[in-house]
Amino acid sequence: MTCCPGCAGYPAAESQFGSASASRDLARYRRKGPDASSRLVLDSVAGMVHHADSLLDIGGGVGVLTFELLARGISRATLVDASPAYLSAAQDEAERHRAGGRFQCALGDVVHLDAAIAPADVVTMHRAVCCYPDWAALLGRATQLARRVLAFSYPRDAWYIRSWVRLDNGRRRLFGNSFRTFVHSPTAMEDYIAAAGFERVSQRTTPVWCVVAYARRNAP
């Protein structure tokens, strides 16, 4: 399971998602385009995105969702990531896509960037919630920043996923790596987002990932 391209709420993300990982992910994207779960996120927002919309891609890694949505007509995009290596790769990709003034990026944990990040019409978080120990803080920030649409992915709460995560975290612990991944409660996240004023409009799954999209109630 390839998890969490660069978004985490603690410094371990920088070492976990370093230059080798960023180079590998960027090369894969350039060679093959979006992977299956990324395509599900793109499909989930396709019918809700307008040409004048702005995008905030939280934990956006090398920018797969960002550049695909810019190509589909999003007017401008901000990519936030905790990994300097991933942001550097995304900047290289922005030049290749000639994104120019339509693209900007920000380094850090979006929960703590506060005024540095402006609200956007569409907010995406692909393979990011599973990297964050405090899912409520991350979703709280995402719902604050999403004017109309919020789409994100998380690992399915299945026995084989939980077993994989335990083994992977155990391996990291054995080798002194402080980074961890998480399987958060889908029901708790769903209830939290609904209480923030959003309604789920789609849900798609792979054997590993669940991709959900929400629309803000009474949004213009």
Residue 128 lies in a domain: yes
Which CATH number do you get for residue 74? 3.40.50.150
What is the predicted pLDDT for the residue at 6?
39
Residue 60 lies in a domain: yes
- 155: domain range? 12-216
pLDDT digits (tens, 9 = 90+) for 29-65: 999 999 999 999 999 999 999 889 999 999 999 999 9
Give the burial class of 114: count Cβ atoms within 10 A of its Cβ; 0-12 exposed, 13-18 middle, 19 or more buried. exposed
What is the predicted pLDDT for the residue at 2?
37
Residue 3 lies in a domain: no
Residue 141 lies in a domain: yes
pLDDT digits (tens, 9 = 90+) for 71-80: 998 999 999 9
Three-class DSSP labels, the chain: CCCCCCCCCCCHHHHHCCHHHHHHHHHHHHHHCCCHHHHHHHHHHHCCCCCCCEEEEECCCCCHHHHHHHHCCCCEEEEEECCHHHHHHHHHHHHHCCCHHHEEEEECCHHHHHHHCCCEEEEEECCCHHHCCCHHHHHHHHHHHEEEEEEEEEECCCHHHHHHHHHHHHHHHHCCCCCCCCCCCHHHHHHHHHHCCEEEEEEEECCCEEEEEEEECCCC
Residue 203 lies in a domain: yes
Instruction: Say what percent of the chain tops pLDDT 90.
Output: 80
Residue 7 lies in a domain: no
| Choice among 112-116, 188-192, 197-201 with the minimum mean pLDDT | 112-116
The closest of 169, 150, 195, 117 to 4, measured between CA atoms, is: 169
| Mean pLDDT of the 139-150 span | 97
pLDDT digits (tens, 9 = 90+) for 198-212: 999 999 999 999 999
Q: Which residues contact 63 (CB under 8 A, 6 or more apart)?
A: 57, 79, 89, 90, 93, 94, 103
Residue 201 lies in a domain: yes
Residue 29 lies in a domain: yes
**Number of domains into which the chain is organized:** 1
